[in-house]
Amino acid sequence: MACHDGQCPPLRCNWALGMTLVLLVGAMSSLRGQPSRAPDAYTTQQSGRGSSTTGSAVRLSLQGCEPYGDAVQSAVDSAHPPYLNQAQLLWIAAALQGRGAAAAGGGGTRFLVFGLGYDSQVWVAANCGGETIFLEDSAVWIHNVTTSYPNIKALLVSYRGRLNDTAKFFASPWLMEVPESVGKACWENILVDAPMGYKPYHPGRMESTYYAVHTARRCIAAGEVADVIIFLHDVQRPVESKLIARYLAAPDIVRLGVIKGRNGNLAAFRVVRPL
């Protein structure tokens, strides 16, 4: 996700295109009989099947917010496109705007993103009226991006783990430290696309994924949210696959689907209140 040279794509949105994209994806009803604070618009391509599943149309109350269609198109057409492909970007963006618009007053949703990248402005556009917070482990990248785009809220974090020693984490997982404001907050949607995880000395996604699941359950148990959608990128990699098997395959977690991409597959999960 993170491409540390500070060149994020500009934000431009088109009403007609944005509404068309939103209406093409469905509003997903609550799974397993669980109440939902807001339905999420989504479309999924099941891994290995090559087919899409689309639900019923959802009417959105955007309350003056610009749709995200051109933001996605601008990102994929830019000189520095995101690692997420267009279908993956639209899947997340449609879920954000659908859940936010269906919330009381249509005031957006709460979205926690691990990592800054060329897609960051897409999330701000899709979650117009809501709260979007980015957690990033590069202070230089935070400075570069927030200087160019002051509307982006990014906070610095650090990771203890390393890919060349994942056994230590899986044997005794720990909860990563986050800024106090993040630790006390609750989120309806979480994207785990950081930190980096393809070289032995990289931190890997162990801590960010574990934190996402932990905070989702904490907030559901406290009654702050009815459910939480977690998006996880690069699920084809061994460590991410193990994280799914270990932490995202529980009875209170529903796998929503996978969209494949040249730069990594994206999976989505719904965390609900246990039966």
| pLDDT tens-digit readout, 137-150 | 999 999 999 998 99
| pLDDT tops 50 at residue 34 | no
Q: Is 8 left (phi over 0), alpha (psi -120 to 50) or beta?
A: beta
Rounded average pLDDT over 167-191? 98
Q: Which residues share a beta bridge with 155? A: 135
CB atoms within 10 A of CB 159: 18
| pLDDT tens-digit readout, 68-88 | 888 899 999 999 999 999 999
Q: Whose CA is closest to 139, among 121, 116, 161?
A: 116
| pLDDT tops 80 at residue 32 | no
Mean pLDDT of all residues belonging to the chain = 80
Whole-model pTM?
A: 0.79
- pLDDT band at residue 64 under the 50/70/90 scheme: low
Phi and psi at residue 148, in whole multiples of 5°?
-75, -35
The Cα–Cα gap between 48 and 55 comes to 20
* Domains in the chain, CATH or no CATH each: 15-271 (3.40.50)
Answer for the pair 45, 267: CB distance below 8 angstroms, yes or no: no
Q: Compare 45 and 1 and report the one with higher pLDDT.
A: 1
Report pLDDT for 174.
98
The Cα–Cα gap between 109 and 150 comes to 20
Report pLDDT for 104.
60
Report pLDDT for 51.
31
Q: How are beta strands 52-54 and 26-28 bridged, if at all?
A: unpaired
Residue type, 17: L
- pLDDT band at residue 100 under the 50/70/90 scheme: confident
Q: How are beta strands 110-114 and 189-192 bridged, if at all?
A: parallel
**CA distance to 174, 207, 208, 249, per residue, from 177 (Å):** 9, 9, 10, 24
